[in-house]
Amino acid sequence: MNLETDALLVVFALLATGVSVGYLLFASSRVKAFGREMRSRAVADRAPGITVLKPICGLDPELERNLLSFCDQDYPDYQVVFGTVDRCDPAIPIIERVIACRPDRDLRLVVDERPAGANPKIANLTHMYREAKHEIIAISDSDMHVGPDYLAAVAGAFEHGGVGGVTCLYSGRSVGGLPSALGAMFINEWFLPSVLVARSVQGLGFCLGATMAVRREALESVGGFETLSAYLADDYMLGRLLTERGLEIRLAPYVVENVVQEPDYRSLWLHELRWARTIRSVRPRGFAFCFVTDTIPISLLSAGLLYWASGSVMAALGVVAVAVAARLWLRRELRTELGLREPASVWLVPVRDCWTAGVRAASFLGHNVHWRHQQLVVSVGGEIDNKGARRGNHRIGARDQAGHGDLKQT
């Protein structure tokens, strides 16, 4: 190589790593700011009635504990509606037990198998919505766990003028095994900070499946849940429809806990690939720049180029060391400011970072996404292409699709 090429490689290596490290430092500052928001959260002046819709399909880990957490709220006026689209759903006995052991709460179960569009979760919500009594409608996935102050935090976020919807960040808690730990790491250390960065840079134009809370009139103004029935990323589309009508999506100063259980590495890979391809379908430009968050893989590539150009081992190692330090600093801020648990050893951070880069690269190689017993094609804009679906022996509506939103990671 000539000197000019060497110089260009050195500049590229330093610039690429510098941008990625800068992202991590900015993300750390956003985590610190959000921690202050949580600690200074004020009590709401009023407590509007809230109906919580819990779409359920199948047996999530710790399902009964999760459901009970939404029933035991320190809030004056709320209702919880559980729903399933299968009369043989194994979760029904657990739901009935939850309802029976809280006779003083306004709880009910809706079982309705009638189809209502391509997305069975939205069909589930459509049926449950008929039983909703209150001004605020809050939807939360069945694998979420909250504290008794959750509804108060959501209600408080609606006090700001022009707010049509409220959403919540969520953290991951692994319930066993290395694949689950890696899944929780992604939620805590990659996804959660990225939402805070997005809010600071461009504002929130989407909701997250951990919480989609909306005023009844705002929901009906966009056409109700039926408007979302063709989309896989229903949480993203709800936020988009609200913002198109000039309404604000606000992030409540609260972090919901997501119980993460991935049985094996293949399950983790397919789960995260589905997330990535769904996000790419609805936010292609933003997703294209997500590589900046893959700091350690970028630093390894940059270190290789730097060593090739300069022959300096110390310079190459220095690039990697700076990247690792920035990643660990963000991890520390998440622990100290938000109280997030560390689901795995610090030595897994480079593994997780490289895994994330691999998933991101693979997401550009197709549009197929795997649900439990079928393969779907997600078209541009996030619509479900039923013509491209390959069905297994089980009906549509297997666990992930009927009970969970798909754009938790936006």
The reported pLDDT for the residue numbered 376 is 64
Sorting pLDDT into bands at 50, 70 and 90, what band is 399?
very low
At 397, the pLDDT band (50, 70, 90 cuts) reads very low
Task: Write down the pLDDT at residue 391.
Answer: 44
**Mean predicted confidence (pLDDT) in 363-376:** 70
Q: Which residue is it, tokens 């079982």?
A: 111
pLDDT of residue 12: 76
Q: Which whole-number Å values give the CA distances from 53 to 81, 109, 157, 295, 341, in the listed order?
A: 5, 10, 18, 38, 28
Residue 173 has pLDDT above 50, yes or no: yes
Over residues 308-322, the pLDDT tens digits come to: 877 888 888 999 999
Local confidence band at 382 (pLDDT 50, 70, 90 cut-offs)? low
Q: Which of 196, 195, 253, 203 is nearest to 29 (CA)?
A: 196
Residue 173 β-bridge partners: 259
Give residue for tokens 């604000």. 248
- Encoded tokens for 331: 């991890």
Whole-number percent of the chain with pLDDT over 70: 87
Question: Which residues have a Cβ under 8 Å from the Cβ of 217 and sit 6 or more positions away?
Answer: none
Question: Across the beta sheet with 374-378, what order do the strands follow?
Answer: 368-370, 374-378, 384-391
Report the C-alpha gap between 105 and 83 in whole angstroms: 17
pLDDT of 197 reads 94
Query: Does residue 35 carry a pLDDT above 90?
Result: yes
Which range, of 31-40, 114-123, 160-169, 241-250, averages the lowest pLDDT? 114-123
Mean pLDDT over the full length of the chain: 85
Phi-psi region of 397 (alpha: psi -120 to 50; beta: other; left: phi over 0): left
Domain positions in the chain are 3-34+287-363, 43-262
pTM: 0.87
Statement: residue 81 has pLDDT above 60: yes
pLDDT exceeds 70 at position 408: no
Confidence of residue 180 (pLDDT cuts 50, 70, 90): very high
Which residue in 166, 168, 157, 164 sits closest to 192, CA to CA?
A: 168
Mean pLDDT comparison of 12-21, 72-81, 293-302, 395-404, highest-scoring range: 72-81
Does domain 43-262 match CATH 3.40.605.10?
no
Listed range (181-190, 272-281, 344-353, 367-376) with the worst mean pLDDT: 367-376
Query: Is residue 192's pLDDT more than 80?
Result: yes
Q: What is the pLDDT of residues 197-209, one digit of tens each?
A: 999 988 888 889 8
pLDDT digits (tens, 9 = 90+) for 9-28: 778 778 888 999 999 999 99
pLDDT of residue 371: 57
In this prediction, residue 2 carries a pLDDT of: 63
> Cβ of 130: how many Cβ atoms within 10 Å?
9
Distance CA 378, CA 402 (A): 16
Question: 344, 186, 180, 374: which is closest to 263 by C-alpha?
Answer: 180
Q: In the prediction, which pLDDT does 383 show?
A: 62
Q: Pick the more confident residue, 76 or 393.
A: 76
As to burial, measured by CB atoms within 10 angstroms (0-12 exposed, 13-18 middle, 19+ buried), residue 39 is exposed
Question: Which of 255-269, 336-350, 379-393 has maximum average pLDDT?
Answer: 255-269
Q: How far is CA 15 from the centre of its chain?
A: 30
pLDDT class for 5, splitting at 50, 70, 90? low
* Three-state SS at 391: strand
Residue 43 DSSP label: P
Backbone angles phi, psi at 374, to 5 degrees: -160, 165
Does residue 85 contact residue 120 with C-beta atoms inside 8 Å?
yes
Mean pLDDT of 277-281: 82
What is the SS3 assignment for 259?
Answer: strand
Residue appearing with tokens 């806990």: 257
